[in-house]
Structure 1
Amino acid sequence: MKNSIANSNDAHFIPSDDVAPVVVAIASSAGGLNALIQVLSGLPADLPAAIAVVQHLSPHYRSQMAEILNQRTALSVKEAETGDQLKPGWVFIAPPDHHLLVNSDGALMLNQAAKVHFSRPAANILFKSIAEKYKERAIAIVLTGRDSDGATGSQTIKQRGGIVIAQDEATSKFFSMPNAAIQTGFVDFVLPLADISTALGRLVMQKVAQRTVE
């Protein structure tokens, strides 16, 4: 486990059109909106990665999370719909009371299957589906939140060759979710919230560069 990421010489690498995107899956719960704003606001519009987000939300109210985040980041943000294609520079938010996952052809899918550890959407479902489809091109981030959602999914991401980042205790409003992921032993980096967007950008560029030499 590391607490920092070295600078990469390919920070300004521009991928060709046929390079498949890196996919980033983010899990957050209590305290997550502010954490998501800080992470996403630090990323450029031309980030060569698609991002899918599971934030635990009340099923009783229409979520305005996509609209809020759209105003705080250069990336394009929308509430996910079945059939959406993961595209670089886009952020897809799981709607309340729906699991979000990636199917075998890379399209997003929503369902209302049973809750997982009392959660729907559940990060574990998203993480595991992305791990199976994107393998070493997957990056998972577990941000502030209660309970343990994202822990087993983080393990699957790592076992399929991906990278896992967890928010550190000092900057987490609630440390249960990041800590559960850390305790699996499959987290690569434990970082302060302020460092996550920079670290993510570097990791994405490293993975894109690796794809061009395979």
Structure 2
Amino acid sequence: VQILAIGASTGGPQAIHQILSCLPADFPLPIFCTQHISAGFLSGLVGWQNSMCSLRVKVAEAKEYPVPGTVYFAPDHYHLTLDTSGRCYYSAAPAINRHRPSITMMFESLAQHYGAGVLGVLLTGMGQDGALGLQAIDQARGITIVQDEASSVIFGMPKVAIELGAAQMVLPVKEIAPLILSQYLD
């Protein structure tokens, strides 16, 4: 595994926190996150996550290379993708399922760049954003995990991913970080 990717919508800040707070400061992978959130609230979310976990949490900057132990959130109004050299890229492409940033766009970009090296996690949320992106990770032979219904605030996005056959594992959110730490790191 070369990169961890997390997507969430309704109920996502707490679910993301449950994962990030379990990961150590020396976590050996970069982490990309797309959280559906109203414009103007991202800096507060990033600041809160940064103050509550051991990892460095920030809004991704265009043209920076992702480094281990850092969480990169998609910026307001842009999709977070990678350019051909593996640097963070802000895409102004049209919204996907009414979302920009889109989880699907991020997942697809990472699957294209890292192939089987992506571990994709789709968390609680309304609608279907992220499901097709998780399918792209699965088709690239990456690892895919979705949050289970019982621990989701809204089971829409994970449910669609399951229906597509894109979810290799369905887990309570509290079990996701321990699984990653025990099974997928070299």
TM-score by length of 1: 0.84
- Separation in structure 1 between the aligned mates of residue 57 and residue 44 of structure 2, nearest angstrom: 11
Q: Which residue number in structure 2 is paired with residue 157 of structure 1?
A: 137
User: Is residue 93 of structure 2 the alignment partner of residue 109 of structure 1?
Assistant: no
Render the CA deviation track for 1:86-119: whole Å, top value 9, x for unaligned: 1111100011211100121110111222110100
**Equivalent position of 1:77 in the other structure:** 57
Q: Is the 8 A contact 1:48 1:204 kept in 2?
A: no
Is 1:45 matched with 2:49?
no
**d(CA) in 2 for partners of 1:89 and 1:23?**
10
For 1:196, the aligned partner's letter is I
Aligned residue for 2:30, secondary structure, equals strand
Higher-Rg structure is 1
Q: Which runs of no fewer than 5 residues in structure 1 stay unpaired?
A: 1-20, 209-214
**Higher relative contact order by CA 8 Å / sep ≥ 6: 1 or 2?**
1
The amino acid that maps onto 2:58 is: K
Q: CA 1:131 to 1:203, structure 2 compared with 1: closer, same or farther past 3 Å?
A: farther
Give, in whole Å, the separation in 1 of the partners of 2:56 and 2:43: 17
Looking at structure 2, the residues matched to 187 and 128 of structure 1 have their Cα atoms a distance apart, in angstroms, of: 15
- Aligned-residue CA RMSD (Å): 1.3
Name 2:127's counterpart in structure 1.
147
**Residue number in structure 2 paired with 1:9:** none
Q: 1:202 deviation in Å?
A: 2.6
CA gap 1:152/1:62 in 2 versus in 1, 3 angstroms: closer
Render the CA deviation track for 1:107-142: whole Å, top value 9, x for unaligned.
Answer: 011122211010010011100010011011101000
Percent sequence identity over matched residues? Answer: 37
Q: Where does the alignment leave 5 or more consecutive residues of structure 2 unmatched? A: none
Three-state SS of the structure 2 residue aligned to 1:69 is helix
| C-alpha distance in structure 2 between counterparts of 1:152 and 1:186, whole Å | 8
Among 17, 22, 38, the residue aligned to 2:2? 22
Q: Does 2:85 correspond to 1:99?
A: no
> Structure 2 CA distance, aligned partners of 1:159 and 1:31?
27
